[in-house]
Structure 1
Amino acid sequence: MLMLQYHNLLIQAILTERFAIDAVPTAIDQVISDFDNVTYHVSTPESKSRILISLSIKCFKDLQKYGVDELLLREYGDYAISPPETGYDFSLIIDLDNLPSDQESKERLIENIALLKRNAIAAPFEKAFSQFDTLAAEAAKNSIDLSVPEDSGSEVMAIHYRDEEAIFIRPSHDRVTVIFSTVFREDTDRVFGKVFLQEFVDARRRSIQNAPQVLYSNKEPPLEIRSVPGLKTSDDVGYVTFVLFPRHISREKREITISHIQIFRDYFHYHIKCSKAYMHSRMRYRVAEFLKVLNRAKPEVAEKERKTASGRRFR
């Protein structure tokens, strides 16, 4: 098992190859799929030296409520185009004849474009952290005890990034609560999920006291989002809650916190599938070993009786 990357490796590889000094411009027309129903289209529709990169993301309309357009213009303003490519939500063009001169700037540009999905989904998190700063400042001004939770009445930001799953973010004056709804397609997935999430809780108790608090509830949604319409309450739905305290969302840690937490669902289900694959491989190995034992336990085949020409039998 491994840690999933925040950037798209294929986009990084394509741009690294095209940005090389001795690279020969060639035509590109490639559709790339990523986690969470995200699709990229990398192409050269006008000329081989102008690369068009387009992003399609299921929850883009939700993200627009929380400032994704402004965030993407901030990150890719020099390269963004409007309107985007037909069928996609955001597009940018890279002119290979007008790249940064130094290698370090090229590498930063490649990394930033490969993080296109991460930067798009970061919009509601940045808005929630900004609201947290405002609420915390007001609480300090009014001499409110920051260690006492208070219902601030702030908006619950809902990002429906998958067909039946969503991320809910709610800022308050002392914390930011992030809740993932996740659907378990099989009963075994639910069992593995509970084991993994219990390990999150136990690890925090044992040795990682500074980690965010992790809570898990099955079927019943947490109190913070029960007012949100359209929540599912079936047995195959679970809710994972992360409580981010000020130490997790300080100015120095916000970017890495956003990167870590938004990929949690993919990381979680990836490890469930890896665990199931490992269990199946061990089961197949044990079955093969048992078959060897059974084969060794079989009695030797008795030698067939023989007959003489007169009909007498002997061994």
Structure 2
Amino acid sequence: MAFFSSGSRALVEILTRLQSAERPMPVDHTLFEFGSIRYHLQVSMTDSENVYLSISTPSLSYEASPSRGLPEITLQETRKLCHKFAEIIEPPKEGYALTLKLNFSGLTRQKDRIKAINQISLLQSVILSSQLKDVLGSLGSSGTMKLVYNQRDHFFVSKTPVKINAIFPMRFKDDTDLAIASSFFQEVQELGSTSSFSGAPRCSWSPIPPPELRGEYVHHLTTNGGFVSFDILARHVKGRKAARTAWILLNFQSYVKYHIKCTRSYIQSRMRKRLEIMTEVIDDAKVRGNDENRKKLQVSSKRSKRRAIKFARAKKKIQKSFKAVVDKMKRLRLRIRVKGLDRFRRHCQCFSLPKLTMAQRKGHKYQKLE
């Protein structure tokens, strides 16, 4: 939220470095901030105690009559805020709306110098609030005017005798941004109707243009996020509240975009965290599954070893029994030996029988015995 602070952080940092420097140094620096706000700082070696600060702010409305310099009320508020250490230079530096000569030598305490630097950083909100008052004063008792704080976004201010309506047309490029913004507008509208926020400007959100914008150009009213309206009463712009209220209105659209960006970042971080948790659960399950598989493999390997040993033993038994059966079959196939026949074979070998040729067999005839 420091980005939407009414003080300029860059200006505070530069002025703090100048005051804390041990040796004086020349400075000629120009810096730009959100909303087309421009600063110019200048310090010379010959006049190192004085710091010349020039401020330029954009014109809030192209419809308002141009005026040279700042309104007298803005100059009075600036003198009241910085009269102890600042002096307004007339005329201002060319191209700038206000030029101040700062001298912190009269502030002896470091605490007072820090406070003075913070007050200088608030000048942009003072100038813009005075411009907004000037624009509203030019409307008279009633009327509507288009205001442009930066080139991308614009809003409307409608003035009535009772109140001032600030109407913001909301446009979004992404459907996700549109959904987040619609939810945010509904919550703001519901909170504004509660008793806890009864003192705040009443907020209303509508998808169609409010009646105060009748007669405006169609391309100015073409939106996809609807219209957000704030009812500004007299108590909201009384005294010091005027600068604060003007600064909030000028940065409302930027704050909505900032809220959408933070919401998307939060959702994405939650999704990443959820994904990491789910990934851890899956990894743990995989590790446990691998352990169980290893145990199963170990058990199965032990069982397979036992089965292999049993199978080897059974194989040996089968081989032995098969060998015994084969041996028995071999024994059965051998010729049967009779002890008496052996002696007969030996006697037959002693008497040799004559061998006849084929011719003798044909010529030989057997005689029939009677």
RMSD, matched Cα: 3.7
Q: 2:194 aligns with which of 206, 213, 220?
A: 206
Residue 111 in structure 1 maps to residue 118 in structure 2: yes
**Superposition pairs for residues 146-157 of structure 1, below 5 Å?**
154-157=142-145
Residue 12 in structure 1 maps to residue 19 in structure 2: no
Higher-Rg structure is 2
User: Do the aligned partners of 1:76 and 1:92 also contact (CA within 8 Å) in 2?
Assistant: no
Distance of 2:127 and 2:217 partners within structure 1: 24
Distance of 1:169 and 1:204 partners within structure 2: 20
Distance of 1:65 and 1:105 partners within structure 2: 40
User: Do the aligned partners of 1:131 and 1:171 also contact (CA within 8 Å) in 2?
Assistant: no
User: Do the aligned partners of 1:99 and 1:106 also contact (CA within 8 Å) in 2?
Assistant: no
Structure 2 length normalisation: TM-score?
0.62
User: Do the aligned partners of 1:214 and 1:242 also contact (CA within 8 Å) in 2?
Assistant: yes
1:69 alignment partner in structure 2: 70
- Aligned residue type for 1:117: Q
2:282 alignment partner in structure 1: 294
Shift of 1:118: 1.2
Distance of 2:267 and 2:220 partners within structure 1: 31
Distance of 1:43 and 1:230 partners within structure 2: 46
Partner SS, residue 59 of structure 1 = coil
Partner SS, residue 249 of structure 2 = helix
User: Do the aligned partners of 2:145 and 2:157 also contact (CA within 8 Å) in 1?
Assistant: yes
Distance 1:159 1:14, change over 3 A: same
Distance of 1:241 and 1:272 partners within structure 2: 19
CA displacement 1:165-208 (0-9 Å, x = unmatched)? 11322221110111223432322222111122211111122232
Distance 1:206 1:34, change over 3 A: same
Unaligned runs of 5+ in 2: 80-86, 298-307, 309-370
Q: 1:172 aligns with which of 122, 135, 160?
A: 160
Distance 1:89 1:223, change over 3 A: farther
Shift of 1:121: 1.8
1:84 alignment partner in structure 2: 93
Distance of 1:169 and 1:84 partners within structure 2: 31
Name whichever structure is richer in strand by fraction: 1
Distance of 1:182 and 1:43 partners within structure 2: 40
Distance 1:257 1:83, change over 3 A: closer
User: Do the aligned partners of 1:7 and 1:114 also contact (CA within 8 Å) in 2?
Assistant: yes
CA displacement 1:78-127 (0-9 Å, x = unmatched)? 33454535xx433524354x755566875665334312321232134323
Partner SS, residue 220 of structure 2 = coil
User: Do the aligned partners of 2:153 and 2:253 also contact (CA within 8 Å) in 1?
Assistant: no
Distance of 1:200 and 1:288 partners within structure 2: 34
Unaligned runs of 5+ in 1: 136-153, 305-313
1:162 alignment partner in structure 2: 150
Distance of 2:102 and 2:199 partners within structure 1: 45
- Aligned residue type for 2:133: E
Distance of 1:39 and 1:230 partners within structure 2: 33
Distance of 2:223 and 2:145 partners within structure 1: 24
Residue 192 in structure 1 maps to residue 177 in structure 2: no
Q: Percent identity?
A: 23
Partner SS, residue 70 of structure 2 = helix
Distance of 2:64 and 2:112 partners within structure 1: 29
Flag the structure with more relative contact order, 1 or 2, with Cα contacts below 8 A and sequence separation at least 6: 1
Name whichever structure is richer in helix by fraction: 2
1:145 alignment partner in structure 2: none
Aligned residues: 281
Shift of 1:130: 5.3
- Aligned residue type for 1:69: L
**Superposition pairs for residues 1-315 of structure 1, below 5 Å?**
4-19=4-19, 24-44=23-43, 49=48, 50-59=50-59, 62=62, 65=65, 69-70=70-71, 71-76=73-78, 78-80=87-89, 82=91, 84-85=93-94, 88-96=95-103, 100-101=106-107, 109-127=116-134, 135=141, 154-207=142-195, 208-218=197-207, 220-229=208-217, 231-236=219-224, 238-251=226-239, 253-298=241-286, 299-300=289-290
Shift of 1:3: 8.4
Structure 1 length normalisation: TM-score?
0.71
User: Do the aligned partners of 2:60 and 2:132 also contact (CA within 8 Å) in 1?
Assistant: no
Distance of 1:168 and 1:124 partners within structure 2: 15
2:349 alignment partner in structure 1: none
